[in-house]
Chain A
């Protein structure tokens, strides 16, 4: 009995009655997610399905409904790509295509947006038009790695879709053992705290590694993230193998008349409670009854707190650059790794300085490519092989900013001549 459109399973008679004249099949469990005040992705999917009458949307919603019912997932991976590339399309075949033949293929394009996720409507409308023509019309904005994800296309349409996107200036992102699509905060485009042009560096570095983004050649993934200040709005330190986080090394700039304005507005108690006492290194002082603050910059760790509280009065110093932290990654398999300090300060203003950073990264990637095991992120490789061995191999000089304290055990070995007495 073919009572569910495009599918081989059976449905409830009353639901079929209620659903007369609709393109989509009933999805009573998913429909529960149409209530509530937060925007509903199910409502969006259903409206698009009814408007475009794409069988893939119907099949995928049927399969999703089935997942909600059985509490299991039903997609399996595979290998779909475009000519010349080995990554960038996440392949999904339905494991239960006999049940939901319209959901048979549901592959995803990972597209690299502009750094900082800035768009013009012209750019986005172009993507929408190309995507509606070839794919489902579902758009995930954005994936956790920073991709614009176009979800749901069949294999025989991927090349044409890619060619049209590519002509409009878009390229695929990374997947698997590649350099991955990067992420950046809003940066100097709209933030006074930006300490380097992370958007420019992002674009340059990822363009440089475009080949390594498209062809899986590594042990595992390699993620770059670029935050323009230590607030780290791109979540670089815990989500990126390579975190470039803006900082400065001279003194915080203070405009005392704006400090006074702040105290006049919020009061002296608030100054103590929210600024002076919250400084992690007690670097800020204020004399009762005055309307100024002093900062002992030698004690300041550039945490950003006071600048966040009084952005009109305080700004990062003038000598700005970025810190390089490496080895960040989430749980699988060794537990959470937070990126650790490698290079405390780099200037990244000129093309030459950015080139120098890329050259340093080339050495690091080469080392990891040689020393790493299959499925091992660079933080895990460094931990297994040893930080000292890593630093010596890639030519980064050991410095005290790399540690919270010097080691507390004596088990290291100096170089020695094993042939001597």
Chain B
């Protein structure tokens, strides 16, 4: 324990850090007055301002779970090549911006030397948005950082080359809440059994009404077990979502074998061409198999191989599938359509084929 000392600082509730001092001088000068941009090569682009200024950006992938040492190394490079500034993308890449074109190649060389690959802009695989997993989460069934590492090892070349029809965004989540988010391809834990209840501890760890209310299908009921207040789950009704586990740690939903992976495709946030779309389930029952998750990698690899071969320029995953139809998608990605891929939850009818439109 630190020796208690008199606290003299009075908290300033400042919210987000101010932008002041965080922007490159060329950015400040051209703020809101950019004219257009051009991709120079994988991971490198240039923005031109109405002022005539050019600003070069080099983007590099990071492990996301960084350390102060890596961040200081990145700062060293930013001081040397980007005048002391950088930014991060929402997919965990770091971007260096500078006005001097001759810095591009030496910066790329130094980034690769510290193990940070340059790429991830435009029609390629961007780094995986992922969750915390076993490293830090309190309800994870897997280690999302490890899955992300395993999958990106396999897709390393796709990050560094421009061979996909359009951008490919991936995500990984360590439970069905899917904090990793909607993506072209999402690798998400899928529980397959109802929670296992620790009746001895439940009433001491959990607020019973809160856990009951948490269930979206009203499957949880109060009960008495061995003279102790507890909860029971109507296993017929239970949809194995895991919502109760977040409210009550005595309702263990995770299981080393029965918590598996599912792969979802076609999620898209952008409004470009097609409307934003949520993703669809295309593979399930995939084992949670650390530390390399080969079965997950195989499915993702097949999907991306098919998209790469069949997608037209600018078609995102969902748009390619829209054109060729789901039936052909399953064939091309060598996946099999299973009964649980027919929706059985709320708004299910919106996903049914209410027409005679069929591709034979």
Task: Give the B-binding residues of A (Cβ under 8 A).
Answer: 29-30, 32-33, 35-45, 47-48, 51, 60, 64, 67-68, 70-77, 82-85, 90, 92, 106, 108, 111-125, 127-128, 131-132, 137-142, 144, 146, 151, 156-157, 159-160, 162-163, 166-167, 169-171, 181-183, 185-186, 188-192, 194, 197, 199-200, 202-203, 206-211, 213-214, 230-239, 245, 273-274, 278, 280, 301-305, 308-309, 311-312, 315, 330-336, 338, 373-375
Contacts and interface: CB of A to CB of B under 8 A. Distances in A.
B88 A235 contact: no
Given A36-B150, A85-B11, A232-B270, 16 more contacts: A38-B61, A41-B145, A73-B141, A117-B88, A119-B85, A124-B86, A139-B71, A142-B88, A142-B90, A186-B87, A188-B34, A189-B23, A202-B16, A274-B314, A305-B272, A308-B314
A140 B22 contact: no
Contact of B22 (A43, A120, A162, A200): A120
A202 B246 CA distance: 30
B16 A45 contact: no
A176 to B, nearest CB: 11
Given A44-B63, A75-B137, A141-B62, A38 B21 contact: no
A25 to B, nearest CB: 17
Closest 5 CB pairs of A and B: A36-B153, A71-B256, A67-B134, A41-B65, A188-B32
A375 B213 contact: yes
A332 B241 contact: yes
Interface stretch (B288-296, B300-308, B330-338): B288-296
B260 to A, nearest CB: 11
Nearest to A171: B14
Contact of A121 (B68, B75, B249, B291): B75
Contacts of B36: 192, 311-312, 315
B34 A190 contact: yes
A209 B210 contact: no
B31 A188 contact: yes
Given A238-B269, A303-B271, A144 B129 contact: yes
Nearest to B92: A141
6 contacts: A84-B11, A137-B69, A140-B136, A141-B62, A142-B90, A203-B16
Given A305-B273, A338-B278, A125 B64 contact: no
A207 B18 CA distance: 10
B14 to A, nearest CB: 5
Contacts, number: 366
A33 B129 CA distance: 18
A141 B92 CA distance: 6
Interface stretch (B102-110, B177-185, B226-234, B352-360): B177-185
Most buried by B among A44, A185, A189: A189
B121 to A, nearest CB: 12
A303 B272 contact: yes
A269 to B, nearest CB: 11
Interface string B173-202: 010111111100000000000000000000
B67 A302 contact: no
Most buried by A among B97, B140, B213, B276: B276
Nearest to A159: B7
Contact of B273 (A29, A30, A303): A303
Contact of B47 (A190, A202, A373): A190
B64 A141 contact: yes
B57 A44 contact: no
Contacts of B132: 140
B19 A280 contact: no
A48 B63 CA distance: 14
Given A36-B156, A39-B63, A144-B181, A273 B313 contact: yes
A33 B149 contact: yes
A190 B55 contact: yes
A105 to B, nearest CB: 12
Nearest to B177: A332
B181 A33 contact: no
Contacts of A30: 291
A68 B146 contact: yes
Contact of B32 (A151, A170, A194, A330): A194
A39 B70 CA distance: 11
Contacts of B64: 41, 140-142
B339 interface: no
B136 A230 contact: no
Contacts of B349: none
B72 to A, nearest CB: 6
Contact of B13 (A141, A210, A374): A210
A382 to B, nearest CB: 15
A39 B61 contact: yes
A116 B27 CA distance: 13
Interface string B71-106: 110110011000011111110100001000000000
Nearest to B133: A73
Contacts of A121: 75, 78-79, 84-86
Contacts of A48: 67-69
Interface in B99-129: 115-117, 129
Nearest to A205: B15
Contacts of B181: 144, 235, 238-239, 330
Interface in B231-283: 241, 243, 246-247, 249, 254, 256-257, 259, 267, 269-274, 276-278
Contact of A45 (B67, B178, B246, B278): B67
Contacts of B27: 118, 189-190
B276 A232 contact: yes
Nearest to A84: B11
A73 B115 contact: no
A238 B85 CA distance: 30
Contacts of A82: 11
B31 to A, nearest CB: 6
Nearest to A138: B67
A139 B67 contact: yes
A73 B139 contact: yes
